[in-house]
Amino acid sequence: MSQQDEIICHCNEITRGEIEKAIKEKGLKTVDEVGEATEAGTVCGSCQDDIQAILDEING
């Protein structure tokens, strides 16, 4: 399993790759924007810190 296949949002089964792709393609800057684009982090919220970490990695 590659890092891209890692499930970040277990509620919606959304992978790191899907989140990274949305951030890069849509220029997303916030956890809320990622949620709107992918539904990641919108159910229980426990993955929001992970989503923020991915945003920080990509956007610096």
CATH value at residue 29: 1.10.10.1100
DSSP state of 10: T
Count up the domains in the chain and report the number.
1
Distance, CA of 33 to CA of 59 (rounded, Å): 14
Report the pLDDT value the prediction gives residue 1, as an integer from 0 to 100: 67
Determine, yes or no, domain membership for 1: no
Which structural domain range is residue 17 located in?
Answer: 7-59
- The one-digit pLDDT tens for each residue of the chain (60 residues) are 689 999 999 999 999 999 999 999 999 999 999 999 999 999 999 999 999 999 999 999
Answer for the pair 38, 50: CB distance below 8 angstroms, yes or no: no
∠ CA 30-24-3, rounded to 5°: 95
Report the pLDDT value the prediction gives residue 2, as an integer from 0 to 100: 86
